[in-house]
A and B are shown apart, each in its own frame.
Chain A
Amino acid sequence: MNAVDYKGLRCFAIAALLAIGIGTTIATGGGSSGGVAPPTITPPPSEATLGITAANGSDVASAVVIAIGISFDLGDITGENVSAMNGHVQLSAPVSKGSVNFYKSLLPGIQQAPESCANGGTVDVTITQANINTISVGDHIVAVFVDCDDGLDYVIDGTVDMTIAAVQGDILTDVFLLGMDILLTDITVTEAESIVTVDGDFTLTLDSMDFPVLRMNMSSDQLRLGNDGEVVTLTGFDHALQADTGVFPEALVANVLGRLDSLLLGGSVDYDTPVAIEAVGDDDPHVGEILITGSNDSSVRVVIIDSSSIRLDIDENGDGTVDEFIDTTWAELNGRTAEPVTESSINLGTAPNSRYTT
C-alpha cells in the first residue's frame, strides 16, 4: 500500500514539475534573447490581430478609448510639464494655447538654467534657436524632468525632446501654425497610486490659422503607453482635434485612426472614426462613432448615443451583422467611478482614472 502511495506521489511530482516547467517557459518567453537581446515576446503588431467577441468587446473598446485619451493628453506636454496627464485635462483648445504660451515664454532667451520645481525635483530646459527673437524651423528644445512636482498633483520624470518642424504666421498672435517633432524618453507620470509611462515619438501640429478655429493633429509610427502595468502600443496613428472657440461653449470635433497593440488583450486592433466625434464644452462627446476592427473583420462599433450613453455593436464573425449590443456609458468605458472635472475638452479617457487603475 505504501509502495503504491509512493509511486502515486512520484507521478504527481513529475507531472507537477513538467507542468510548472512548461508554464514558466511560456511565461518567460522561452528564455530566448534571439541574439542581440531583442525582446522575447513583443506586443504583437499586425501579425497577431485580435478577434473581437462579445466577451472582450467592452474591454477592447475601453482600451482603445483610454489609449486615444492618453495620446490626446500628450498634446499638452509642451506647455505644462505634461499637465494633461493629470487625469483631468484632455487635448483641447486651452491646451493648445498653453503650448503656445510656453513657446512665447521661451522667446527672450536661448537657454534656461535648471530650475527647481515648486514641490521638489528639477526641470532642465535647453533651447537651441537660430534666432533668439523668434521660433524657427529646426529650433531644438530639450526638457529633462527629474521627479518634478509642480504642485499639480503629479510627479513627472523623463525627457521631452522637441524640434520645430514647421512655423507659419506669427506665434505672438492668435494666428499661426506650429509643427513639432517630439521624442519622449522614459517619461513617467505618477499621480497618487497611478503610474503612466510614455515612450516614443510623434509629430504634433498646432494650427490656428483659421482662428478662432484651432486644430491639433498628432501622428506617429509608434508610441508606447504604459498605465499601471498594462502596456499598449499605438502604431501608425493619426489623431486630429478641432476646437471652435468662437462659440460658447466651444465645439470640439475629433477624428482618429490607427492601430492598438495590447499584450494584455493579446493582440492588435485597428480603429477609425467613420463618424467624427463631437463634443461641446466640458461634456463628454455626444455624437460620433469609433469602429474597432480585429481579425476576420470582427469588430466593435462604439456608437455615441449622447453625452452619457454609448452602445457597442459587436460583430463577431465579420458578416456585417451585429451579433450583440451592449449598452454602456462613458464613465464605464473610461473606467471612471465619478466624472472628472475637466476644462473644455474632448474627454476620451483619462489615464490615471482608467479601468486599469484598479
Chain B
Amino acid sequence: MYTGTSTLIRRDAARWLALPGSALLALCLGTSVYIVERDWATALFLAPFAALQGEQADFFGVLGNVLPAFCHAYAFALLLILALGRSRRARLTGACAWFSVAAILEVLQAEWFATVLDRPAALTTAVPALNSLSNYLLNGHFDYGDLVATGLGCAIAYLISSVPEEFS
C-alpha cells in the first residue's frame, strides 16, 4: 500500500518535472535558430560575438521565421503556468497572461508605433537598457506570423500543462 502511493507520487512528480524540461528544450531550440540562421549582429544577445559568426545556414527553412516566437511563447507560458499552480484557472491565466505580454511587445514593433515614438536621446544613452528597448521598438519588425506563433505556443503550453492533471 505504501509502495503504491509512493509510485503514484513519483509518477506525478515526474510528469510535472517534464514540463519545465520541455520549456528548457524549447528555449534551446529557439536559440539555435538565432545561432544557425540569423545575423548575429541583429540580435542584441549575440551582437558581441558577431565577428565570430560563420556562414549562415537555412537549416529550419520557412519554420525558422516563426520558430523562435513559438518556442519562446511556449516556454514562458508554461513556466508561468507552473509558477501559478495546477488549477485549470491558473493554467488559463498563465497562458493568457504571457500571450498578452508577448502580443503587446510584438505590436509595439509595428511601424505606426515607431513613427510616434521619439526616444529621448540623452536618457537612452545614459541607460543602456532603455537604449536596447528603443532599438527594439524602432528597428524591430512587426510580423503577423509571430503573433500567430505566439498564440499557438501559449495554447500548446496550456494543453500540455493539462496533461499531468488529467493523469492524476
Residues of the B chain whose Cβ atoms lie less than 8 Å from the Cβ of A29: 42-44, 136, 140
How far is A88 from B48 in the complex, measured between Cα atoms in Å?
25
**Does B83 lie within 8 Å of A28, measured CB to CB?**
no
Within A11-32, the residues touching B (CB, 8 Å) are 13-14, 17-18, 20-22, 24-32
* Contact among B38, B47, B101, B132 with A229 in the assembled complex (CB-CB below 8 Å): B47
Residue A35 lies at the interface, judged by CB distance under 8 Å to chain B: yes
Residue A275 lies at the interface, judged by CB distance under 8 Å to chain B: no
Contact with B along A27-65 (1 / 0, CB 8 A): 111111111111111111001111101011000000000
Residues of the A chain whose Cβ atoms lie less than 8 Å from the Cβ of B44: 26-29, 41, 263
Residue A316 lies at the interface, judged by CB distance under 8 Å to chain B: yes
**Does B105 lie within 8 Å of A22, measured CB to CB?**
yes
Work out how many contacts link A and B, with CB atoms closer than 8 A: 175
Residues of the B chain whose Cβ atoms lie less than 8 Å from the Cβ of A231: 41, 47, 50-51
**Does B51 lie within 8 Å of A44, measured CB to CB?**
no
Closest Cβ of chain B to A80, distance in Å, is 22
Residues of the A chain whose Cβ atoms lie less than 8 Å from the Cβ of B140: 29-30, 32, 40-41
Residue A90 lies at the interface, judged by CB distance under 8 Å to chain B: no
How far is A39 from B140 in the complex, measured between Cα atoms in Å?
8
**Does B83 lie within 8 Å of A14, measured CB to CB?**
yes
How far is A21 from B142 in the complex, measured between Cα atoms in Å?
18
Residue B68 lies at the interface, judged by CB distance under 8 Å to chain A: yes
**Does A56 lie within 8 Å of B69, measured CB to CB?**
no
Segment among B1-9, B10-18, B119-127, B157-165 that sits at the interface with chain A: B119-127
Spell out B's residues near A (CB within 8 Å). 30, 34, 37-39, 41-45, 47-52, 64-66, 68-69, 72, 76, 79-80, 83-85, 98, 101-102, 105-106, 109, 114, 119-122, 124-126, 128, 131-136, 138-143, 145-146, 149
Spell out A's residues near B (CB within 8 Å). 10, 13-14, 17-18, 20-22, 24-44, 47-51, 53, 55-56, 188, 195-197, 226-231, 263-264, 266-267, 294-296, 298, 316
